[in-house]
Amino acid sequence: MSPILSVAHVGVRFGGLVAIADLHFDVAEGEIVSLIGPNGAGKTTAFNVMTGFLKPSQGEVRFRGTPLRGLAPHEITRLGLARTFQRTSVFPDDTVFDNVMIGLHRHAAGTGRAPLLDALVGRAGAGERALRERAVALLDWVGLGARAQERAGALAYGEQRLVGVALALATEPAMLLLDEPVSGMNASETRVFVRLIRQIRERGVTILLVEHDMPMVMEVSDRIVVLNYGRLIAAGPPAAIRSDPAVIEAYLGQGSAARRAAAEAREAADA
């Protein structure tokens, strides 16, 4: 089976700093893969490259066989690769319902040949009704049905995460990149979320996630890819990763100098 996403020898440099070096891995269709590594290992940078927010200095990313080089983020989304964000995952001033409606942007395009004209003469009515029904269904599905009319920015942190997932799902992706989806969630919220991730996969969506919550990663992943200092140090099923000496060294054996270097790399990646 051909991989849905392949990251081929990708490198990212910021000035003289190497954020990612020669990153190389594939994700197969229907998999749940986790990308882990200590702080500043280059995980979010890798996400930004995959979704078009950053241009790689070298190498390329292919999604369903299409090279993503030169594509803008919205074009990549339209190919079926969606993502969530670590920090801000919602449109804060809109209601939860409207958030999802914004997320459904790409679908409204199908309602007519001249969508702008349709909107202006009020011909978009039927399409709009259908969209609203989808939005409601989607919110119910992620468990936010009761929150639909609340301002997204006013929701609890964990719920904002769910809105972010609903937004990403609204684009009907074939693959979903989740950036630290359970950070800030309590144990029971995390359990619910793990169930949600599995349900998403059951709908046929491949999942790549970056996460620090190791028990959660071990529980949900089919495979794990480990980064350190922007390099791939291990890849394999959870059981193998758990006992991989390089991974243990990366997580436990960080001296203070190493931590500082990692922090620097992280700063560069975020800048």
93 touches other proteins by CB under 8 A: yes
Whose structure tokens read 């969530």? 84
Based on the shown chain and the rule CB under 8 A, indicate whether residue 89 belongs to the binding site for other proteins: yes
Q: Which residue type, as a one-letter code, is found at position 86?
A: Q
SS (H, E, C) 121-189: HCCCHHHHHHHHHHHHHHHHHHCCHHHCCCEHHHCCHHHHHHHHHHHHHHCCCCEEEEECCCCCCCHHH
Contact 216, 194 (CB under 8 A): yes
Site string for other proteins, 152-191 (x = CB under 8 A): ------------x--xx-xx-------x------------
The least distance separating other proteins from the CB of residue 245, rounded to whole angstroms, comes to: 32
User: By the 8 A CB rule, do 100 and 164 touch?
Assistant: no
Q: Which C-beta is closer to other proteins: that of 123 or that of 191?
A: 123
Residue 54, interface with other proteins (CB under 8 A)? yes
> Angle, nearest 10°, between helix axes 125-142 and 157-170?
140
**Segment interacting with other proteins, rule: CB under 8 A, options 32-40, 93-101, 248-256, 258-266:** 93-101
Q: Return the number of the residue (140 or 249) whose C-beta is nearest other proteins.
A: 140
Say whether residue 193 binds other proteins (CB under 8 A).
Answer: no
In the bound state with other proteins, the residue whose beta carbon lies nearer, of 11 and 73, is 73
Residue 53 in contact with other proteins, rule: CB under 8 A: yes
Residue 90 CA to residue 155 CA, distance in Å, equals 10
Asked if residue 29 binds other proteins (CB under 8 A), the reply is: no
- For position 137 contacting other proteins by CB under 8 A, the verdict is no
- CA distances from residue 249 to 41, 150, 211, 255 in whole angstroms, order as listed: 14, 46, 18, 10
Residues of the shown chain interacting with other proteins in the complex, contacts defined by CB under 8 A: 44, 47-48, 51, 53-54, 72-74, 77-78, 82-95, 97-98, 101-106, 108-109, 115-116, 119-122, 124, 128, 132-133, 136, 148-149, 164, 167-168, 170-171, 179, 270-271
